[in-house]
Structure 1
Amino acid sequence: MLRWVAATAIGAVVLSLLWTGSDYANTSLRTAAGEPSQPVEGEPASRVTMAWEADTGPAGLGPVQDHTVVVGEDHGLRGLDPITGVERWHYLRSTALLCDWTAADGVVVAVFRTDAGCNEALALDAGTGQREWYRNVNFAAEISMSSTNQLTVAATPTGVTVLGTTSNGLRWRYDPPENCRISDTVPGDVGVAVTLDCASSASLVLLDGFTGEQRWSGTLPAGAARILTADGVVGVLARDLTGSLQVFDRDGVELVALRDPSLVADEVVQPAAQLLGDRLAVFTGSTLFAVNVQTDAIEWFVPALNLLTLLGSGLLVFDGTDFVQHDLVTGAELRRITVDGPVPPTGGRLDRLGSAIVVSTVEAIAVYR
């Protein structure tokens, strides 16, 4: 009898230790009570102030999904109400570190690191925090996550892995040619664009988003380059002092080839671009300029410390003092929105949720109303 009691007690202790050390016991999941409320549509007021701000951790840009602002931190993710900044949901793991995350299609896909490396991926509903799927992965520590319609891309210098965003299926993998490393990867509606730094050359490759097959390749100037966009066109800006900009259509035809020192991007900022009709609006970190992809001509420059968002028929930027709406065709100032109090963080992007302006960088998020 005593032996049975002792064995039972030992078994209980072992089970308790196993439970305490398990991933389940060290995971805190709080889901929202319901779907997020849709903000009332409207233009920003003529004067705005910071409604709330929050730090964010390992993250790409683009935290606004399903009327929710998603922020990352060392051990997980939180979904915040865009109006109040109050937490709606969270997914936190005390024994794992967040490697990176991305969001699209109303889904947040995150990769966590345990003792075995960046080896666990999961997806959460952006509006409620409910878990959509989970799978084991094998990614390097320098993983960079990005996403577009139905595709989640995990990239490292030695390869690209593409998963489904709304399902955990593996779509395809891409390995660079021998003696080449991947320097940048951006997905978009034309495919997944990849820049390669090879022993004797640099090149741009466009891969089919759903099959991974190479659609075309183009030659780039030697040196570091960043992909600006893969939506509508593929734009690439050199990171050296030459100010080299190249734009290709979805079939690989070069539309723009410019070299101008005024196009140089800031070292500490991720340059980006958005195609609007025939104009590619390019953000360099300190300026926004429009290049006509049909005429290969730069049409205007304006100061901008954050990537644009749309406002009515114009573009909204932050110029270091105020939010400013510019005409898409001429770049002329249409409206100035005065910022009272703390100014927004710079170097990130702008989004709009109803009449609110969301400013996000890789370190902080602030909402202005």
Structure 2
Amino acid sequence: MVAAVLVLVLGGAALLYGAQSPAANTESVPATAPPAPPPPATAVPARLTELWRASSPATPVPLVAGAGVVVAEGSRVSGRDAATGAERWSYTRDLPLCTTGFADGRVLALYRNDQYCSELTTLGPDSGERGPTRTLDARPGTRLIGQDPVLATGVDYVETFRSDLVRTAEYGTVRAPEEPGDQPRAGCTFRSFASARDRAGVLERCPGEASERLSVIRPSGSEGDRPAFDSSAGIGTEGAQLVAVSPERAAVLLPGVPRLALYDRGGRKIGEFPVAAGAQLSVPADGVARTSADATTRYWWTGGATVALDGATLQPRWAVPGTVGPGTRHGERLLVPVPAGLAVVDPDTGAVSRTVPVDRGGWGGPVQVAAQGGLLVELRGTEVVVLGPA
């Protein structure tokens, strides 16, 4: 009788756990066939036409992944055929999405559980099949930026993890510190963020300090909640914005007359460069500068212009005024969003040869664009719009 009672109790516990487990409240519908590749990029077309659109408020950038496009809304992430918008796979949980990203060839889907954005799932970009998962301590409003490390941002806490999802560093208000005193400062507010290979930059404001502080974490040297730094020092001003970090430098936009201050790996200021920022400057609410990149150059949208930064030195090279986003490479040209469409830009000189008309139906806000083969994927606010040759 005792054995029978134990069997019933254990069986009931297993059923209860199964009913409450994440798997029981998840709907995963993988793709049933390989994806059709998007058309290849050839010459920049004379005109573009809209192929399809979808609501996607949980993708902070156009999420081109594998051969398709990923959209995310509510509790659902789905992979779409790039040319038609037909849904190929989907993944849904009974939790709200915080944000999505892409790293190491996998889609990142981060869900909110209670007060934290804690449930991270990886998905195959072409199949939608679930990969490794892990738990984060990120706060609502977080962004997942960078590749190695991936940096999860936050107003008072950040963490980094490797491509295999192993956490490498925590910095800020740690929920469950391993040892008191592991964090070098307390009560700081994080204002802007950037990531590069084995570097995570944070511009912060700390109590009792005379100015904002630029801290660059080195994840490979960190141990859990004991972060290691390449550098951490005050920058002598207030109201700055961290624009980018490279393996050897950090670029900070200074307040007042637009200037880009460059700092070396040891945190020493090595120069200031004027920036043709255009008619207005934008301060991203999530603290992440709007940038894109190719093999040699980073393209930064200031809010009124697109500025090319050397990929290694971060020194400004040229600027195109009157733009509404950073741009994307299309073959040998750079396509930069402007109010009338997409400006065709020489990536070496910044010279604009022409503008490809795009009818955005009255949308007048910022536009982020990414290329998927010969197609262009625009993110206009919370909506993804895919364009192809007319």
TM-score bucket of the superposed structures, by smaller chain: 0.7 to 0.9
Superposed counterparts of 1:293-304, under 5 Å: 299-304=318-323
Q: TM-score, normalised by structure 1?
A: 0.82
Q: Name the structure 2 match of 1:154.
A: 152
Q: Name the structure 1 match of 2:379.
A: 360
- Determine what percentage of the aligned residue pairs are the same residue: 21
Structure 1 position 135 matched with structure 2 position 143: no
Residue identity in the other structure for 2:202: V
Structure 1 position 311 matched with structure 2 position 330: yes
Q: Name the structure 2 match of 1:228.
A: 243
Q: Name the structure 1 match of 2:191.
A: 183
Describe the SS at the equivalent of 1:45: coil
CA contact 2:79–2:90 (8 Å) conserved in 1: yes
Q: Name the structure 2 match of 1:336.
A: 355
Aligned counterpart for 1:194 among listed residues 180, 189, 202 = 202
Let me know the Cα RMSD of the aligned residues: 3.5
Describe the SS at the equivalent of 1:24: helix
Shift of 1:251: 5.3
After superposition, the C-alpha distances for 1:79-122 in whole angstroms (9 at most, x for unaligned) are 1111111111111113x111222212211222212336333222
Structure 1 position 71 matched with structure 2 position 71: yes
Q: Name the structure 2 match of 1:205.
A: 215
After superposition, the C-alpha distances for 1:244-301 in whole angstroms (9 at most, x for unaligned) are 4223355545454146684652246764345778876431123113467979676443
Change (3 A) 1:231 1:39: farther
Residue identity in the other structure for 2:237: A
Structure 1 position 285 matched with structure 2 position 303: yes
Shift of 1:26: 2.4
C-alpha distance in structure 1 between counterparts of 2:73 and 2:293, whole Å: 32
Q: Name the structure 1 match of 2:179.
A: none
- Give ranges in structure 1 of 5+ residues lacking alignment: 1-7
Shift of 1:309: 1.0
C-alpha distance in structure 1 between counterparts of 2:266 and 2:380, whole Å: 32
C-alpha distance in structure 1 between counterparts of 2:11 and 2:309, whole Å: 69
Describe the SS at the equivalent of 1:210: helix
Change (3 A) 1:341 1:258: closer
CA contact 2:363–2:380 (8 Å) conserved in 1: no
Aligned counterpart for 1:174 among listed residues 164, 171, 185 = 171
Q: TM-score, normalised by structure 2?
A: 0.78
Change (3 A) 1:145 1:299: closer
CA contact 1:191–1:206 (8 Å) conserved in 2: yes
The size of the alignment, in residue pairs, is: 358
After superposition, the C-alpha distances for 1:341-360 in whole angstroms (9 at most, x for unaligned) are 64777424221112111112
Structure 1 position 247 matched with structure 2 position 262: yes
C-alpha distance in structure 1 between counterparts of 2:264 and 2:295, whole Å: 13
Shift of 1:192: 1.0
Change (3 A) 1:259 1:302: closer
C-alpha distance in structure 2 between counterparts of 1:222 and 1:266, whole Å: 18
Change (3 A) 1:250 1:125: farther
Shift of 1:203: 1.7
